[in-house]
Amino acid sequence: MLKSQRLLLEISENIQQQRISVENDSYLMFSIRDGHYGNRFDEDSLLIQLYLDDIGLTNPLGAKRDKHKMTMVYFSLEDVPDKYRSKLDFIQLVAVCESKHLKNDVKAQRFFAPIIENLNKLQLHGISIHGVHLTFSFSTVVADNLASHFVGGFQSCFNGGHFCRRCYITYSEKNLMISLSKIQTRLIIDHDDLVDKIINDPNRVPLKAVIGPSPLRELIGFHPTTSLPRDLMHDLIEGICSMIIISLLKQASALRIITYIRMQERMEQFQYGKFDSSNQPPPLLVKHLQNNHMVATAAQKLCFFKRFPIIFNDVVDLLPSFIVYKVLREILDLILSYPFRKKWLHVLGELCDTFHETMLSHFPDKITPKAHFIREYKYMINDFGPAVKQWCFRYEANHSYFKKITARTNNFKNIPKMLVTRYHLKQCLTFGHLSQLQSSQYSVGMKKV
């Protein structure tokens, strides 16, 4: 990929452009470089972001769903210009492993060892391409909460104890109206101390949710307390937003404003506009409302959340808890902003506290760990930069290629090898052409107009 001189030039221009914009307006945030943890990176190094997730390659209802579960590790360069960032070709596969092997600490270490070794070499020595010396820095590991806790050496249970990887809040405290500044934050020294205690006495796990050393502890620049940002897609779009919509609709039904059947009809008959048509969500069926479950992709859930007051315009005014939606919508709009303004952090903090208060008064039994995670976005953006640069949205889209290949080949003898071979042949073909082409000839998106 980096053999394309045109692309290299665009990347360095992008870094330069962002630096100039920040120099002119110091409140702007474009990436982790403008956040609190950005100080640790060299200005000319290219930032490497890792992603980790488990995927099921076969039918999720089939008998072999657990047998063919894979852990996928991807990486992407954070400094690639925004027009390329959503292209799946710019997300690269690092490693594939059967998920069952990572449950064993020794096997997990053996799996991560070559990844750590290569990344450390890259960070220490860099590489030279066509006489140009490039240096790299590891930035963050992006993942859902379960995978982040696995990578950080935290417990994988969120319904008890200290469930948060940023602070020491306990499960019983999450429903109290305590200011976040009063809850102790996890510090590097404290965390290392806890890990040492566990190594000396393995029977003491979990110790404040820490269950042991991280499998990536040898990676230069990685620490469980400073390298695992929150994921906006899982926490907000697929988590709290969907839960609030379903709670509001259920309340509308309980207050006899509208029935489940009428809700389904409304969604089926609603005409989505030109920009929403590609993310049009499927209608919420009666059984989904009864099970508190929304069947849709993250993009469809986001579209539905934004159009909710229009689809149910006559219903929302009659709902006493609609204020929860309004506050959450404000929070979501702020968190999705790119570039972010440091001045908005204070407003975001206030909104998050208001959201917690309204949740306590309208849906106290719906305050899940994710409701606490949302309160921390002020700190997360301050530390890691804009949240959209740390989300899993495009990485998750990359899974579909591997799922399709497995289904089409029907080859289950050595799935990781088969996936890696085919993937790299595809990437060689794509980037083999890119180095010869001008960037203007590389399509960055196609849409019917």
**Nearer to Zn ion among residue 97 and residue 141 (C-beta):** 141
User: Counting contacts by CB under 5 A, is residue 191 touching Zn ion?
Assistant: no
**Nearer to Zn ion among residue 71 and residue 227 (C-beta):** 227
**Nearer to Zn ion among residue 80 and residue 345 (C-beta):** 345
* C-beta nearest to Zn ion: residue: 164
Question: Min. distance of Cβ 189 from Zn ion in angstroms?
Answer: 18
User: Counting contacts by CB under 5 A, is residue 418 touching Zn ion?
Assistant: no
Q: Can you give the C-alpha Rg of the chain in angstroms? A: 23
Q: Where are the alpha helices (H) located in 215-362, listed in sequence order?
A: 232, 242-254, 260-269, 286-290, 298-311, 313-316, 322-335, 344-362
User: Which residues have C-beta within 8 Å of that of residue 312, sequence separation ≥ 6?
Assistant: 249, 252, 258, 263, 266
Size of the site for Zn ion (CB under 5 A): 4
User: Counting contacts by CB under 5 A, is residue 230 touching Zn ion?
Assistant: no
β-bridge partners, 289: none
**Nearer to Zn ion among residue 33 and residue 162 (C-beta):** 162
Rounded-to-integer distance, Cα 311 and Cα 281, Å:
12
Q: Which of 229, 163, 131 is nearest to 370 (CA)?
A: 163
User: Counting contacts by CB under 5 A, is residue 80 touching Zn ion?
Assistant: no
Burial category of 335 from C-beta neighbours within 10 Å (exposed 0-12, middle 13-18, buried 19 and up):
buried
Question: Min. distance of Cβ 46 from Zn ion in angstroms?
Answer: 31
Question: Min. distance of Cβ 164 from Zn ion in angstroms?
Answer: 3
DSSP code for 283: P
User: Counting contacts by CB under 5 A, is residue 164 touching Zn ion?
Assistant: yes
Question: Min. distance of Cβ 321 from Zn ion in angstroms?
Answer: 25
Question: Min. distance of Cβ 169 from Zn ion in angstroms?
Answer: 5
**Nearer to Zn ion among residue 166 and residue 356 (C-beta):** 166
Rounded-to-integer distance, Cα 19 and Cα 402, Å:
37
**Nearer to Zn ion among residue 115 and residue 146 (C-beta):** 146
Question: Min. distance of Cβ 167 from Zn ion in angstroms?
Answer: 3
Q: Which of 18, 74, 29, 24 is nearest to 345 (CA)?
A: 29
Candidate segments 164-172, 202-210, 219-227, 403-411, binder of Zn ion by CB under 5 A: 164-172
User: Counting contacts by CB under 5 A, is residue 166 touching Zn ion?
Assistant: yes
DSSP code for 185: B
Rounded-to-integer distance, Cα 313 and Cα 307, Å:
10
User: Counting contacts by CB under 5 A, is residue 167 touching Zn ion?
Assistant: yes
**Nearer to Zn ion among residue 164 and residue 316 (C-beta):** 164
Candidate segments 44-52, 97-105, 163-171, 286-294, binder of Zn ion by CB under 5 A: 163-171
Element (H, E) at 118: helix 105-125
User: Which residues have C-beta within 8 Å of that of residue 120, sequence separation ≥ 6?
Assistant: 218, 219, 220
**Nearer to Zn ion among residue 164 and residue 380 (C-beta):** 164
Question: Min. distance of Cβ 350 from Zn ion in angstroms?
Answer: 18
Q: Which residues bind Zn ion (CB under 5 A)?
A: 164, 166-167, 169
